[in-house]
Amino acid sequence: MSPLDAHPANRVALVTGGCSGIGKAIAERLAARGHSLVLVSERPDALEAVASEIRARHRVAVHTVAKDLARPEAAAELHAAVAGRGLAVDILVNNAGFFFFGETVDADPGRAAAMLQLHVVTPSLLCTLFGRDMRARGRGHILIVASISAWRDLPGINYYGSSKKYLRGFARALRCELAVHGVNVTCLAPGATATALYSATAVPVERARRLGVMMDADAVAEAGLAAMFAGQAEHIPGRLTRAMLAPQWAIDLLRRRGPWLRRDES
Ligand SMILES: NC(=O)c1ccc[n+]([C@@H]2O[C@H](COP(=O)([O-])OP(=O)(O)OC[C@H]3O[C@@H](n4cnc5c(N)ncnc54)[C@H](OP(=O)(O)O)[C@@H]3O)[C@@H](O)[C@H]2O)c1
């Protein structure tokens, strides 16, 4: 049991994107450890359904905040909403995200801006606002869900990959700043994971999962929380995922020589 768990007042975990995929699996595990939850995502019905499930299974308090986190005001509004309920967040999981394929110059500007807002601006500001509270209390954990794509330059998913690179760098610097105040920051970098992230694409998620090319969200969540509670800086879950990280030259060659590669699925 970590020192954080041992502290009775130190129990509330906020998970963005907590009603689906990796976020939901993380929320389940935190509830199983006894943490109260604040789940945040866009769809109120889905949120409420997941919250009821978790309350019934783990007998913890589960608060929900339905919010589009791809809006400039989202972080400040969320911080105020949580404070308004008298909750002190000691575990912040920045997880909400979405995905699209396509060349950079073909991207829909609105969709691209929403991705930068959701993956870059909102999580950064949530770290500022909730991290400031944690620093004042001298304890806390921040888990930032980036992606293995942060390790490479990836043509075809440039907005996604570059936003995750930002998160990785942001997490590393924030970790140095907050460590001296007793607050841990961990960056979780999953590889391909079988979730609804790909629901708007042609990726055969279920087949990939059966073949072992995609991990289960549960395994990713388990590994991410273990890394966070152990105070690790970064973690890429799955030995196969780490082994499959192609060298940059191979990615560049494939892009130049692979005219069969799908250019746009949007
Ligand atoms: N699956 C993978 O292969 C993979 C690999 C590496 C990293 N990741 C990262 O893992 C994180 C979780 O993704 P996932 O795979 O679990 O996908 P997912 O099942 O689609 O979950 C994404 C979550 O983000 C929420 N979300 C999306 N847009 C939002 C918005 N504008 N405002 C508020 N919430 C929003 C969704 O809520 P609603 O359903 O209510 O919209 C959902 O709960 C993402 O950051 C993703 O980039 C995933």
**Residue 91, C-beta contacts closer than 8 angstroms, at least 6 positions apart:** 4, 12, 13, 14, 30, 35, 140, 141, 142, 143, 228
Tell me the per-residue pLDDT of 157-176, one tens digit each, with 9 for 90 and over: 999 999 999 999 999 999 99
User: Is 123 near ligand 1, meaning CB less than 6 Å away?
Assistant: no
DSSP per-residue letters across 51-69: HHHHHHHH---EEEEE--T
pLDDT at 260 over 80: no
What does the mean pLDDT of the chain come to? 92
Atom 44 of ligand 1: nearest residue by CA position: 97
Nearest ligand 1 atom to alpha carbon 190: 6
Catalytically active residues are 160
- pLDDT bracket for residue 29 (50, 70, 90): very high
- CA-nearest residue, atom 27 of ligand 1: 97
* Residues 157/198, Cβ–Cβ less than 8 Å: no
Q: Is 91 exposed, middle or buried (0-12, 13-18, 19+ CB in 10 A)?
A: buried
3-state class (DSSP) for residue 246 = coil
* Section 137-157 average pLDDT: 95
| pLDDT tens for each residue of 173-210 | 999 999 999 999 999 999 999 999 999 999 999 999 99
Would the CB of 222 count as within 6 Å of ligand 1?
Answer: no
Q: Is the CB of 95 under 6 A from ligand 1?
A: yes
**Amino acid making up residue 168:** R
Contact criterion met (CB below 8 Å) for 97 and 21: no
CATH numbers and ranges of domains, the chain: 3-257 (3.40.50.720)
pLDDT at 220 over 60: yes
| Residue to substitute in 29, 54, 98 for testing ligand 1 pocket (most ligand atoms within 8 angstroms of CB) | 98
Lowest mean pLDDT among 140-144, 154-158, 189-193: 154-158
Ligand 1 pocket residue status of 19, Cβ below 6 Å: yes
